[in-house]
Amino acid sequence: MHLPPAGIVQLKPNRGRRIMILGLTIPQFTTLHVALSLIGIVTGLIALPAYAAGRWMPRMMALFLVTTLATTLTGFLFPIGNFTPALGVGIISTLVLAIALVALYGYGLNGRARIIYTITATISLYLNMFVLIVQAFLKVETLNNLAPNGNEPPFVVAQTVLLVAAICLGWKATRRRLAV
């Protein structure tokens, strides 16, 4: 009997049945996943710069964390045939978000938890936006024509700008005192 390597899931033939995830078709589930991701990105782009400016927005930050975590977790529910970069990003994102949640809700941002939270929340937003850029270059025809392999200058520039912006945001946020 041939078994797949540990951690690799082999899909069973569909045999004409419609694949459902949480009672949704793949396109419906994909729409939910993308909507969660976009809400996480928008709320993160509101909450984290406010945090870096010294303003605490608890509801916005909670919405950012919940939707970003939901995005990551729903990503694991898609049919997976083997290990992919997306799966790797999902694993890293889950670990980073877990640390952020413990720093915020477990330690209440006291002491070093504030800096740990700042760094992990920034990384979480960065990873979500990293995937957004990857997906945009894969799915938007104009962008795909500019970088069909994902290693051409337009793609590299977009990812570099995002990385620099995330580092600047994280640096500023770690230096700021909160006015809670």
Nearest-angstrom CA–CA distance, 123 and 128: 9
Question: Sign of the C-alpha dihedral, residues 2, 3, 9, 11?
Answer: positive
Average pLDDT score over the chain: 89
pLDDT score at 84:
87
pLDDT digits (tens, 9 = 90+) for 42-58: 999 999 999 999 999 99
State pTM to two decimals: 0.85
Q: How many CB atoms lie within 10 A of CB 17?
A: 8
Nearest-angstrom CA–CA distance, 170 and 164: 10
Spell out where the chain has E strands.
20-21, 24-25
Nearest-angstrom CA–CA distance, 150 and 152: 6
pLDDT digits (tens, 9 = 90+) for 92-101: 999 999 999 9
Band (22; pLDDT cuts 50, 70, 90)? confident
Tokens, residue 21: 């995830």
